[in-house]
Amino acid sequence: MKYHQIQPPPHLQEYVRYYWALESTGSLGEEIHFVTIADGSPGIIFQQSDRASFQEGKRLSPVFMYGQTTGHTRIVSPSSFNTIGVYFYPHALKSVFGMDSSELTDNCLDLNLFLNGRRLVERLEDAVTIETKVDVISECLWEQVCRHEHSLQATTRYALQRIIRSQGAVTLMDLRQELKVSERTLERRFQEGIGVSPMLFARICRFQASLNQLRSRSYGKLSDIAFEREYADQSHFIRNFKEFTGLTPFQFRKSICETVENFPVLVQS
């Protein structure tokens, strides 16, 4: 598989982390099994293929937007495809599309229908190069920003940045005291702006920090990761890891090919 990562234009850098492109030229009839991993961010995927992809048995639109993921799922794809993806910042559903982010948590949306017949699929299919496809998506996103831009409330923005900086170590009590708001207010605003509760987002950030440590092999044994990430013990860390990936850390290292970060291929044995 060939992978490319493309930076967004300056006017979209507040909303888009990066674009990514993945190309595969497998044999007819073969399948690739992707694993979605909770990473704290929504996104968009456009897949050009002769056959459809399926998520847990549900047929996926050629171009779809997905919200926050609180667990793990499998996507079964034809082995020959061209895919363009958008990796958003956590607040993008609200700030770009004006959505209540919680409406799309653990779900996806046919983007061509959502954008009121803008014929996005046709425009993407007509674009020949990765760069022109990215230009089409960027134009679409900027139209949405201009129409729906909705800045995060200060409370949500502070809580989001605080959780990310602490890699999920901050407590709900700390956030409430620093912001001087009630638990209910913090939960409601964060759910609307980000799509999950602040504490679930913190758990995802802590998991991602442990996953990065596993990827870089910067540990002696698994209990080192559990200790450094402040899990109760190694078993707690493994349970949390399996909740967000469907695999134990050992299985992840053995059975995963992570060409695209947080969207790995499950290697069939």
How far apart (Å, rounded) are the C-alpha atoms in residues 177 and 225?
Answer: 29
Low-confidence ranges of the chain (pLDDT < 70): 116-118, 149, 268-269
- pLDDT at residue 43, as a whole number: 97
How far apart (Å, rounded) are the C-alpha atoms in residues 76 and 34?
Answer: 6
- pLDDT at residue 152, as a whole number: 81
Q: In what order do the strands lie in the sheet with 43-48?
A: 2-6, 16-25, 80-88, 43-48, 63-66, 108-110
Residues near 256 by Cβ (< 8 Å), separated by ≥ 6? Answer: 35, 247, 264, 265, 266, 267
CA distance to 51, 106, 208, 245, 260, per residue, from 71 (Å): 26, 8, 13, 7, 18
- pLDDT at residue 1, as a whole number: 86
pTM higher than 0.85: yes
Domains in the chain: boundaries: 2-148
Are 130 and 142 in contact by the 8 Å Cβ rule? The answer is no
Are 48 and 81 in contact by the 8 Å Cβ rule? The answer is yes
Query: What topology is assigned to 2-148 in CATH?
Result: Jelly Rolls (2.60.120)
How far apart (Å, rounded) are the C-alpha atoms in residues 258 and 207?
Answer: 16
